[in-house]
Amino acid sequence: MEYYNRKNYLDNLRGVAILGVVCVHSVQEFSSGSQFLDNALAYGRAGVILFFVLSAVTICHVWTTKYGNMSIGEYYLNRIRRILPPYYLAIILYVLFLDIDVSYWSSNGVSWSEVLLNASFLHGFSPEAINSVVPGGWSLAAEMFFYAIFPFVAIGIRRYGVEFSAVMVVISAVYTAFAGDFFSSIRTDAQEPLSRLELDFLFLCPLQHLPAFWTGILIYHVFILKSKIRHPVLIIASILVWAGVILHSADFRLITLGLSTLLFGLITVLSSRFFNSLNTLGRIGRNSYEIYLLHPAVIHIISITCDRLDYNLNFVGAFAFTLLLSYFFSHLISRALRKGATN
């Protein structure tokens, strides 16, 4: 069941986001033949940040039009019905049927404790589990963490105004500033510098990505609901604190994350006015969640098939096959599972 007054521009932008994600994972396995193009396509990973912004806009819209007459328990039930079935199918697929190399994240292979952490969406707080069970599963941990805290943010906004949501940015700024030191302090070898895996974990942790969700909340309330900001200085101050922490870190990935968040926020605002007719991108976007979960499996199967046939498939072919097959199967899955749930 589709939610009330579905926004086409959100589906169109989801289509853009998933194309970027499929691009980056395709080019990691199948080169375009140009190092410059390979590097450019790698920035498709930023599509995940766009997903976060869009998720916040969407849940704000659905909360305003539908959940206002629901209890918080009914809200959580709706989220569970929408997110869990495809994700649990993905866990079964990757754990039992596909032999994808996860040694970077879990050197001894996937353990049942990591599977259970993924099944409970707590894997975003475990270095070994955050991305070892379902490829790209770290973003689902971030999404579910946001969905978990959103009702309380929404209640705060209703009582104190949209300025209340800035607490999400402050939390992320504090996390960015102190997470590395805290993580080092609880290790047995506290004097050793953080490994690359540990740094990757800290970057992918849900707390790091709260500003992207906050951007979506701000867009919805300011540009769609036309809510008045009574204390803009609080919004500006929170952004400056977050930006200051990122710049002080001198971490290129964090700086790119901040710029991507701001850019995608602007794109979302403009798209709400000029990109609101459903097109092919929108149709892809409506199945973007299932495509996101399924496309790494499709890429893996295509790669194995090409190796066995000794066929050198280029990026264009791999991307096209991956998108078409992922869309076809995701469309079948989504039609079977989405009944009664809201995007």
DSSP string, 30-86: S--S-HHHHHHHGGGGGHHHHHHHHHHHHHHHHHHHTGGGS-HHHHHHHHHHHHHHH
Q: Is residue 342 part of a domain?
A: no
H runs (alpha helix) in the chain: 8-29, 35-41, 47-65, 72-92, 112-119, 138-160, 167-185, 196-204, 210-219, 232-249, 252-274, 280-285, 288-309, 315-337
Predicted local confidence at residue 3, as pLDDT: 40
How many Å apart are CA 340 and CA 257, to the nearest integer? 34
Structural domain that includes position 272: 8-337
Predicted local confidence at residue 1, as pLDDT: 35
Listed in sequence order, the residues at least 6 apart from 122 whose beta carbon sits closer than 8 Å to its beta carbon are: 129, 141
Q: Is residue 2 part of a domain?
A: no
Structure tokens at 72: 């918080």
Predicted local confidence at residue 88, as pLDDT: 97
pTM: 0.94
Low-confidence ranges of the chain (pLDDT < 70): 1-6, 67-69, 188, 190, 338-343
Listed in sequence order, the residues at least 6 apart from 193 whose beta carbon sits closer than 8 Å to its beta carbon are: none
Predicted local confidence at residue 183, as pLDDT: 85
Predicted local confidence at residue 72, as pLDDT: 87
Q: Is residue 215 part of a domain?
A: yes
Q: Is residue 156 part of a domain?
A: yes
CA nearest 202: which of 126, 133, 292, 277? 126
Q: Is residue 232 part of a domain?
A: yes
Predicted local confidence at residue 66, as pLDDT: 76
Q: Is residue 1 part of a domain?
A: no
Cα dihedral 228, 142, 295, 319 sign: positive
Work out how many domains the chain is built from and give that number.
1
Listed in sequence order, the residues at least 6 apart from 28 whose beta carbon sits closer than 8 Å to its beta carbon are: 42
Predicted local confidence at residue 336, as pLDDT: 79
Q: Is residue 3 part of a domain?
A: no
